[in-house]
Structure 1
Amino acid sequence: MTDSKRRRDLMVASALLGSVLALTGCSGGGNAKASDGGDSSQARTDEAAAQKSSQAQITITPKDGSDNASINNSAAVRVAKGTLTDVSMTTADGKAVAGALSADRTSWKPSAQLQRSTTYKLSAEAEDSDGRVAHENASFTTVSPANSFIGNFTPDNGSTVGVGMPVSLNFDKAITNKTAVQKGITVTSSSGQEVVGHWFNANRIDFRPETYWKENSTVTLRLALDGVQGADGVYGVQQKTVTFHIGRNQISYVDAQTKQMKVTQDGQVVKTIPISAGSPENKTYQGVMVMSEKFKQTRMNGATVGFTDDDGKGEYDIKDVPHAIRLTSSGTFLHGNYWGAKSIFGNVNTSHGCVGLPDAKGAGDPGTPAAWVYEHSLLGDVVVIQHTGDKTVSPDNGLNGWNMDWAQWKAGSAV
């Protein structure tokens, strides 16, 4: 091989080696870049995982924007797959509403009943097991008075009443969906007596057993009317339980012919009192009546019940009638009388329809017959008035549904 050929071969080999080295170098550089790119992708994946939404799922009821919401059961916060770390509830003007978390911190509710026609805002925060935070907010408005109904009930919670006291509810709106409303009202007695409701009109329903309540029993009224539709666009808001006690069995019998009243307790006569009932021109209603109100003193003006003279003034206006016990809504009372002659009691019926008992002026004398009756009577005690010559009192005139037989009473039930 000539020197020139050898030099050419060396030059080619050198060039080839350089090419191989260059290719190797490029390959090495490519691998480095691929490695760098893989590390960057992993970093981005880790960052995305760190920023992933919390698994805690917060639910606020009612839904955001709701109106006509319940004042009892609407507001609530719950969380799944996490625990609540903070809940804030305020009125629209920023007033805080107290509430309580459950022991496991998965739910929250207000501590007291909400107000009607009020806008509330709820804000909740929760964490999942990895400490990731979730947030939720909602605003709602509770039912307005115009779109809700309330039943005013008798007797009061915790009271002790007589055996004739019905459970009476008077609603502030006319009820057209009577079945749904009555199903939301339950009245039971520890005596086991069957209790049935009777609608007198669209606003009033009374409950009673077939015969008087068993003495010394306990009666429970449960109202589950929250959210119950009583009429078109009108919903109930009450959710409560009321209990009252039935006392001894006291029934008084007024006889307008003999002009005597006999007070019985547990079937035994404990007091006989001379009375003066309604005059022949103004007879007293007959029938079973229940004591519904008691006044140590009250004013009685004839003009309020239609007894007026030619000048339009009341035929009587007595400002301090003592020991007055209401028997009807229309104005029949059992009351003390200090202005009449003592001789009328037991002898002459002279009143405008009430039943008068001997009494002293001022209602401070505990020794008078009227004072005795007043002190020994409970709301719900029964007064049976007989032989007056007048009609029987209407069952809805006061708490006097006992003047309706059981079949008639049950026929007035919507359930």
Structure 2
Amino acid sequence: MEKRVMTGSKRRRGLVAASALLGGVLVLTACSDGSSADGSKNSQAAADKAAAEDASEAQIAIAPKNGATNASINKDAKVTVTKGTLSEVTMTTSAGAAVKGTLAADGKSWKPDGQLERSTTYKISATAKDSKGREAHENTSFTTVSPANSFIGNFTPEDGSTVGVGMPVSINFNKAITDKKAVQDAITVTSSSGQEVVGHWFNSQRLDLRPENYWQGGSTVTLKLALDGVEGAKGVFGVQQKTVTFKVGRNQVSTVDANTKTMTVTRDGKTVKTIPISAGSSANPTYNGQMVISEKFQETRMNGDTVGFGGEYDIKDVPHAMRLSTSGTFIHGNYWSGSGVFGSANTSHGCVGLQDAKGAGDANQPGAWFYNNSMVGDVVIVKNSPDRTITPDNGLNGWNMSWADWKADSAA
């Protein structure tokens, strides 16, 4: 009985030993798997290290950032690189049209050659190399500001023109401006004469700039529009980045006396000619005030229907016509009234008439002479007419406003 018990005890110990042995095997198997994982990690680390050693140090930056909207059409697009040089940059529209650009001599930057189009998506792809010749690549896509979200200013006078001493800088915006200060601060007008130039807002879309007195004859005036990216109204941005230069000619001011029916032309302070005229009739008198010639026409049609009259006249070939107001006041040649009215009667519908010949006419006729000796920007002053003074915003006629009132509506 005891032997059987002892035998049974040995058998149980054997089972325990076997179990322990099995456990040892399992533990050893688990240790073997761990050794394999460490090897994989080491291999990956080695691969990462090799990749890092092969990576280029060149760092490319492209503006605008990828996905940008309302990007500037003038100055936003640019590619730069640090710790390397650019080797290739391509820029295309979403339709695939290539955009020409210039790489800087040092290979550190690239930009497009000209102004971009509005409401257009562009793609830029850039490649650069570091000092070891390793390449880096970068790509981006952006969309420029749309016409609906941008504004422009149509300005006069034109770049490179020569104008009379009364010519203001007049800018008409194609959208209403609510942040007038931001817009006016981005516009500067300077003169070689050193005259102070101040802007005046006639309304939300028109800004005129002028000195207190007429421009100095012979001076040069520079207009700078730095409107690119300026928010003129909520969500509406400027797109113009432009410099305009014009010259001021001799100082010519002509004074029309509606009472004596004469016009005295002075140049640089000296009288050069006195011309008999016919101003507006008592029923349709000519405006008083300082008026600036804004347009010149060798010949034009004048139809009373276009300025509120009931068809009293329609003359298809009015010679030597020069506009003085938006509402239709001109100083022009007149061949149809007969020479007897000039200097003796006011017969027009508000214009100032000078004796002239039909067609090309005679250059010695007063109308032809005055046309040939006048330029856009010259001043014509009308006095002693029974009509009121012309409003400053009716044409380029801000000179009819006091300097204090002019400055009062400046947003600068």
Superposition TM-score, scaled by structure 2 size: 0.88
Moved over 4 A (4+): 43-47
State the 1:47 CA deviation: 7.4
2:392 aligned partner: 395
Distance in 1 between residues matched to 2:142 and 2:360, nearest whole Å: 55
SS in 1 for 2:281: coil
Q: What code does the residue aligned with 2:318 have?
A: V
CA RMSD of aligned residues (A): 1.6
State the 1:179 CA deviation: 0.3
1:99–1:110: 8 Å Cα contact kept in structure 2?
Answer: yes
1:208 aligned partner: 210
SS in 2 for 1:164: coil
Alignment partner of 1:132 is 2:134 = yes
Distance in 2 between residues matched to 1:86 and 1:65, nearest whole Å: 22
The correspondence for 2:373, drawn from 372, 376, 379, is: 376
Q: What percentage of residue pairs aligned between the two structures are identical?
A: 70
Gaps of at least 5 residues in structure 1 are 1-36, 309-313
Gaps of at least 5 residues in structure 2 are 1-38
Matches within 5 A, 1:278-293: 278-293=280-295
Alignment partner of 1:339 is 2:358 = no
State the 1:135 CA deviation: 0.6
The correspondence for 1:161, drawn from 163, 170, 174, is: 163
State the 1:74 CA deviation: 1.1
Alignment partner of 1:84 is 2:86 = yes
State the 1:45 CA deviation: 6.4
> Deviations along 1:49-87, whole A, 9 cap, x unmatched?
576321111111001111110000111000111100000
1:323–1:363: 8 Å Cα contact kept in structure 2?
Answer: no
SS in 2 for 1:124: strand
Distance in 1 between residues matched to 2:101 and 2:184, nearest whole Å: 32
1:326 aligned partner: 323
Q: What code does the residue aligned with 1:390 have?
A: D
Distance in 1 between residues matched to 2:49 and 2:398, nearest whole Å: 76
Alignment partner of 1:408 is 2:410 = no
1:225 aligned partner: 227
Change (3 A) 1:143 1:280: same
Distance in 2 between residues matched to 1:172 and 1:53, nearest whole Å: 51
1:290–1:398: 8 Å Cα contact kept in structure 2?
Answer: yes
The correspondence for 1:143, drawn from 142, 145, 152, is: 145
Aligned length: 372
Distance in 1 between residues matched to 2:360 and 2:342, nearest whole Å: 18
> Deviations along 1:94-134, whole A, 9 cap, x unmatched?
11000000111010000001111111110000011111111
1:62 aligned partner: 64
Distance in 2 between residues matched to 1:207 and 1:187, nearest whole Å: 7
1:299–1:321: 8 Å Cα contact kept in structure 2?
Answer: yes
Q: What code does the residue aligned with 1:216 have?
A: G
The correspondence for 1:74, drawn from 66, 73, 76, is: 76
Q: What code does the residue aligned with 1:336 have?
A: G
1:355 aligned partner: 352
Alignment partner of 1:190 is 2:192 = yes
SS in 1 for 2:54: coil
The correspondence for 2:383, drawn from 386, 396, 407, is: 386
